[in-house]
Amino acid sequence: MTALALWLAVAAGQTPQNEHDEASMFGGETPAEAASNAVANGLDGGAREDARGRDDVLFGGGDLLRDGGADRRDESMLGAIGKNRFDTGEEKNDPLKIGGTLYLRGQAYWPENGSFDKVTFSSPDLLDVYLDAQPIDRVRGVAVGRLLYEPTRSSDASASGFSGGGLSTVTAPQGNPAVYLDQLYLRFDIARTVFVTVGRQKMKWGTAHIWNPTDALNAQRRDPLQPFDLRLGVNAVKLHLPIEKYNWNFYAYGLLDNNGPANTLGKLGGALRAEIVIPKVRAEIGLDGAWVQGKRPRYGIDISVPLPDPIPIDLFGEVAFRDGRDFTIRKLRDGVDPATNPFGFFTEEQGKGIVPQVAAGLSLSIPYLDVNVLTVGLEYFYNPVGVSSPKLYPILFAENDYTAFYAAQHYGAAFVLLGGLPNAKWISGNFTVLMNFSDLSGLARLDAFFRVLTYLQIETFVAVNFGTRGGELRPYFPPIALPGGALTPFSPAPAASFGLGLRVNI
């Protein structure tokens, strides 16, 4: 789903409770009866929203803080008084939360000029389960396991529906089913001043919504086509020092996932980040750096600032400063045809100097119906080390140097997020257009979400590929001979894709 996957996850976490009469539609108790029973059982709306907020943060689908974030259960740690939940009657039976998300999907990719029987179908199903223990306000332990399974894929097949039909920044699972440890961390504080998180945890840097060039801690880019952040957590030790008086935050990281697992002290990595608020202009600025053995240092800066009232527009941007030697620069040779000279139509050289990768944009938020918000946004990404011609994409694939949405030099996106329809708040939707300006290919996608039976969400989407045939977002790669006689893989141009999903938080 282009950027939409990111917005899909946000919408799923922020969609208001149903206000339509589910009893008349699906059978069961009326809203009044449900509210009465919920109060009687201690399952009031606030508790449900707390659970959903925790689900979104644990599974990477909600509004995370820039460093990976803390949900509502962590907020109590900032002002903790050390109350023991086992000694408190009203909380004695609630030190451990158990829950998860079950997501079943069916999706199809229609090839250009293809017959109905050639449509590719997949069912990439997902189950996340968590244990969230907080015996006292100052100590919290979390474990999250993930199961990925595709009944439409054999156990030895390389293609996977989790890879978004080929346009994915995340490596598809090799096994089927595949089981992973997503998160396993312990969080506590030192003298109520420094907050420590030890173990496998979610992290995210940067303010942009679609492209995050400053996100240096994750080995893979977040996939904007997926409703969940399929990247696993990062093994690290994080120290967080908040300065509440100024709303500043400082972070120090000890990294264990670097150039391979850090099984010796020399392989340990480190990172620093500062988040500073400038009150007069209400700007938030982030400064960060990461240092890992076997990799060159990475630095970044990000900013978000609202325009003066009453203009409801937020500006955001981030710049990553990378060493040019991290990249291989490929360019076409003038006047050389790949069909007649498949080995010499391009040049390769190592980059040099400092390479700035820039993502920037704006978003306009219009509140309506008291709780819902209509968000309209634009985003642009400049990647100077990307290729300028679609003729080079097969080379990137063949040399294992292709990252979707980060391969070309110029990208842009426009998005609309609708929190709920005026007369049907249980229905929300997103529309996103993603463009590769370097090759003039694009992808437009419309998603609709229907929250029914309070916990069940039905999701559907349709996407259309358009623009230059053979561009990144409308790929058509005929086989190209490589040195040694190998051929690059063949990919027909997709015309459209569509799908249906069922999601429930438990």
Mean residue pLDDT across the chain: 81
Side-chain-facing half-sphere of 103: CA atoms under 13 Å: 26
- 3-class SS at 365? strand
Question: What is the spatial distance between Cα 395 and Cα 480, in angstroms, rounded to a whole number?
Answer: 9
Find all residues with CB under 8 Å of 161, minimum gap 6, and list them: 105, 107, 122, 123, 124, 150, 152, 153
* pLDDT in the model for residue 133: 95
The secondary structure element, H or E, covering residue 186 is strand 178-190
In this predicted structure, the answer to whether residue 438 has a pLDDT above a threshold of 50 is: yes
pLDDT digits (tens, 9 = 90+) for 240-295: 999 999 999 999 999 998 767 778 888 889 999 999 999 988 999 999 999 988 78
460: containing domain: 4-505
Q: What digits encode the pLDDT tens for the residues 207-242? A: 999 999 999 999 889 888 777 788 899 999 999 999
Vertex 168: Cα angle to 162 and 173 (nearest 5): 40
Q: Which residues of 328-360 are buried (b: 16+ CB within 10 A; e: fewer)?
A: ebbeeeeeeebeeebeebbeeeebeeebebbbb
Tell me, what's the pLDDT at 431?
93
Binned at pLDDT 50, 70 and 90, residue 462 comes out as very high
Under 8 Å between Cβ of 446 and 418: no
H helix count then E strand count, the chain:
6, 23
The pLDDT assigned to 263 comes to: 80
Specify the pLDDT at position 30: 40
| pLDDT computed for residue 7 by the predictor | 38
Please state the rounded mean pLDDT for residues 123-152: 94
Q: pLDDT by residue (tens digit) across 16-54?
A: 333 444 444 334 444 334 433 433 333 344 444 455 555
pLDDT band at 361 (very low <50, low <70, confident <90, very high): very high
Strands 354-368 and 372-382: antiparallel
**pLDDT score recorded for residue 484:** 60
Q: What ranges make up the beta strands (E) of 51-152?
A: 96-111, 120-122, 125-136, 139-149
Give the chain's domain count: 1
Amino acid letter at 228? Answer: F
CB atoms within 10 A of CB 80: 16
pLDDT at res. 410: 97
Count of all residues that appear for the chain in the document:
506
Q: What is the pLDDT of residue 495?
A: 87
Least-confidence region, from 144-153, 227-236, 497-506: 227-236
Q: The tokens of 187 are what?
A: 């969080």
The answer to whether residue 111 scores a pLDDT higher than 90 is: no
Contact 277, 300 (CB under 8 A): no
Q: What percent of the chain has pLDDT over 70?
A: 77
| Residue 151 banded pLDDT, cuts 50, 70, 90 | very high
Of residues 484 and 398, the one with the higher pLDDT is: 398
pLDDT at 77: 60
Report the CATH number that the domain containing residue 227 is assigned in CATH: 2.40.160
Task: Please give the Cα distance from 21 to 38 (Å, whole number).
Answer: 16
Confidence (pLDDT) at 468: 92
- Is pLDDT above 90 for 78? no
CB crowding 263-283: b at 16 or more within 10 Å, else e = eeeebbbebebebbeeeeeee
Q: Are strands 120-122 and 269-278 parallel, antiparallel or unpaired?
A: unpaired
Which residues share a beta bridge with 320?
Answer: 300, 357
- Please state the rounded mean pLDDT for residues 137-145: 94
**Of 11-15, 62-66, 289-293, 372-376, which gets the smallest average pLDDT?**
11-15
Using CA atoms, how far residue 18 sits from 41, 54, 276, in Å, is: 19, 19, 38
d(CA 231, CA 70): 18
Question: Which range, of 182-191, 297-306, 418-427, averages the lowest pLDDT?
Answer: 418-427
Enumerate the β-bridge partners of residue 429. 418, 448
How much is the pLDDT for 407? Answer: 94
